[in-house]
Amino acid sequence: MTATHTRTERGTHRAQRERVAALHAELVRSELVTWTSGNVSERVPGEDLFVIKGSGVSYDELTWQGITVCDLDGNPVDGLMKPSSDTDAHAYVYRHKPEVNGQVHTHSPYATAWAARGEEIPCVLTAMADEFGGPIPVGQFALIGDDSIGRAVVATLSGSRSPAVLMQNHGVFTIGPSARAAVKAAVMTEDVARTVHLARQLGEPIPMAAADVDACWNRYQNVYGQ
């Protein structure tokens, strides 16, 4: 549980905080968040710290000062803003998945509709195979306020190639090697959630064969791009 600390603004890690603040605009641009919901966090390279959006901070007013630096127990160490209510969940993921350097949480509408049903999104598109390497799984219901969500994210994604999990009755959590990669995963999650939903209005989507999913995943991860 995040402890209560006197908050001070020393301005440390300013460049990273500016970059993470700017990434939140991608959530708004892609219509993944409403009002002040959702957040982006990123691990501080070489330190047992991460930066995360302040709780309830407006996206229109978000600057680097709206991003708080926390230790890996979720305690704020620099910044005037109380960190996100999801801070303990993010901290748990960073402690238990050292390969993760960025996380995003959204309530994007189509993906959250799948989460409300407690239903994974089946892998029926090459774009899904590319980005997720299979279906987007569902994590068990967990309340906000401690590390319960983080525990469910880690448990659900262990052994999965997906960088995204649909938390039942809640929303989307994504991970990545950077905050930008986690934002991309959140954008792609909403995109495929919408497309697969539309496909189901026309009939049952055709599942992809496991070998084809593997082939798409390997090409996209190892060959695609510059």
Catalytic residue annotation: 130, 224
Please name the residues in contact with 80: beta carbons below 8 A apart, sequence gap of 6 or more.
7, 8, 9, 65, 68
DSSP 8-state code for residue 79 = -
Spatial separation of the C-alpha atoms in residues 197 and 108, rounded to whole Å: 14
Instruction: Give all strands of the β-sheet with 138-139 in edge-to-edge order.
Output: 76-78, 67-71, 49-53, 39-43, 102-106, 171-176, 164-167, 138-139
Spatial separation of the C-alpha atoms in residues 41 and 73, rounded to whole Å: 14
Pair of tokens at residue 113: 């509709």
Helices 179-202 and 14-29 cross at an angle (nearest 10°) of 10
Nearest to 163 by CA among 93, 72, 61: 93
